[in-house]
Structure 1
Amino acid sequence: MAASHVQYVHSEHAQSVISRYFSTVLSICRRSIPTVIAVVLLLAVWETWVRIGNVPSTMIAAPSEIAQATVETWSTLWPATQVTLIEGTIGFLFAVLFGILIGILLYCSRIANAALFPLLSAAQTMPLISIAPLFLIWFGFEISGKIVIVTVFGLFPIAVQTIRGLEAVPQFYSDVALTCGATKTWTLWHVKLRVAARQIYGGIRVSGAYIFATAATAEYLGARKGLGIWLQAAYNSFRTPLIFSATLVIIVITGILMCLVNLSERVLLGPTSDDEDPDAQQ
């Protein structure tokens, strides 16, 4: 009897998990329908305009020409993409690490905040084209210089959102933890950071949105290989479809990165509904 009851409970749990999974998939599909329709309409209008208007391909390429060019040059486009992927991914991980650590430091120390935050802000106002030559002098044409550039330009929004997230944590969280015997350091790492994590992820998403574009731009200004060099070669040869091909690849890999960021947030923090206060509705 007990064994059959356990089997029944497991069966009910499995059905519940499967039901939630399909419900989530259906919800995502429903939310994606307007986007898919908009993209299809945009591509159709774009293709029609280029074909009917007899627009030269050197001026703007039709979606079909871009797709054909992407397939035909994939043997060279993919190796270039791999270089930019490595630079952007490593730089992004460093940006997340150092952005959170710097944010914690500036939150904990008013002196450090007053001394370093203006410098951090000033670093973000400098155009990439003005500092890229310095990185070429320091690191040469190797990918290490591009990783540093991506890290520097990617950590600012993460650091800012870390500071703001920690400052927005209600005081009663710390009071409860300290009353239970926790130290200030433990409270910071296990309570405040957990409560501020949603806002920190907001900064991570902002940073991830332009990571690969930054890497490609840095390559364009000076590198041996990568999507930036590939773009430069396409521009020099006036092959407009290839420029769109590289742009499409950057958009796709950025989208994949954003999906991974959202997935990691879901795995680490759970759905946003878990953060709602059940007593708030009462």
Structure 2
Amino acid sequence: MAESHVQHKLLGMAKRRIPTLIAVITLLVVWEAWVRLGHVPSTMIAAPSEIAQATVETWPTLWPATQVTLLEGTVGFLLAVACGILIGILLYCSRVANAALFPLLSAAQTMPLISIAPLFLIWFGFEVSGKIVIVAVFGLFPIAVQTVRGLEAVPQFYSDVALTCGATRAWTLWHVKLRVAARQIYGGIRVSAAYIFATATTAEYLGARKGLGIWLQAAYNSFRTPLIFSATLVIIVITGILMCLVNLSERLLLGPADADADPDADQ
């Protein structure tokens, strides 16, 4: 019975992915045909087959650059998650902190990366640590905001029940409110994860010794368009892997999304 249920769910997931697969294949076929039949110069846009070939041929140098960006993005993302949740809790618990810090967080997010990257170059030089800090700073805002909103959206009766049973306010916050708000917090984590490696790559492009940003800069300077697409493809793939890991962690920690549904809602 359990095995048939698992097979049914896997079949359902596969069916939901079929339209995406068809769309991607169609896009690649049309793209390849347009470049080949239209005789589009490879310096302007590369065909998918050329991108795949360039990726394979340059992998011995592309992979070390990817490892650097992976390190910066992963460490920066973990810092953003930890700091974002803690800052969100602080903003929720303290009106003074909310009034003082939230405008600063909002202002930090409105600044383009290119405007503050020179400061980080002065402070950290071309080292990896500077890119990690940039990624963390730009990644924590959506997590902090969703943490505040999630905690504010928790119905009051959850706290009332816990406090009535003898729980302290601190215990109620960490064990009740955060658990109820966790789905919304994960929404902010997903938003952050979606652009974390792109942020790291852009920071490298503006000043670094190695990484995908330097790879892109070298490809651009030599007008090797297929290599630009190769680096872009790698960024998309590692971002997709990170998103899958975020979804997996949510499922392991919180269970399936439908597990939070009220069983009496339809009655």
Q: Indicate the SS of the match to 1:182.
A: coil
Cα distance in 2 for partners of 1:268, 1:115 equals 33
Q: Count residues in correspondence.
A: 267
Flag structure 1 segments of 5+ consecutive residues without an equivalent: 1-14
Counterpart residue number, 1:97: 82
Question: Residues of 2 paired with 1:158 and 1:217: CA distance?
Answer: 21
Distance 2:96 2:39 in 1: 63
Q: CA deviation at 1:27?
A: 1.7
Give the one of 145, 167, 179 matched to 2:164: 179
Query: Residue deviations 1:95-142, cap 9 Å, x none?
Result: 000000000000000000000000010000010001001001100111
Give TM-score, length-normalised by structure 2: 0.99
- The one-letter code matched in structure 1 to 2:38 is G
In 1, the alpha carbon distance for the partners of 2:74 and 2:11 equals 30
For 2:266 and 2:33, locate their aligned partners in 1 and report how far apart those are by CA, in whole Å: 52
Q: Which runs of 5 or more structure 2 residues have no equivalent in the other structure? A: none
Q: Letter of the aligned partner of 2:227 in structure 1?
A: L
- Aligned equivalent of 2:130: 145
Q: Percent identity?
A: 85
Partner residue in 2 for 1:47:
32
Shift of 1:149: 0.1
RMSD: 0.7
Measured in 1, the distance between the counterparts of 2:121 and 2:59 equals: 28
Distance 2:6 2:130 in 1: 43
How far 1:19 sits from its partner (Å)?
2.7
Mapped partners of 2:71, 2:4: distance in 1 = 38
The structure with the largest alpha-carbon Rg is: 1
**Mapped partners of 1:88, 1:179: distance in 2:** 44
State the Cα distance separating 1:196 from its structure 2 match: 0.3
Q: Which of residues 177, 189, 205 is equivalent to 1:192?
A: 177
Match of 1:158 among 102, 125, 143: 143
2:11 corresponds to 1:20: no
Aligned to 2:266: 281
Identify the residue that residue 223 of structure 2 maps to in structure 1: 238
- Which residue, 209, 229, 234 being the options, matches 1:224? 209
Amino acid corresponding to residue 130 of structure 2 in structure 1: G
Q: 1:117 aligns with which of 102, 114, 121?
A: 102
Moved more, 205-214 or 269-278: 269-278
1:255 counterpart residue number: 240
Give runs of ≥4 in structure 1 deviating > 3 Å. Answer: none
- What does residue 111 of structure 2 align with? 126
TM-score by length of 1: 0.94
Mean Cα deviation higher: 22-31 or 159-168: 22-31
Name the counterpart of 1:208.
193
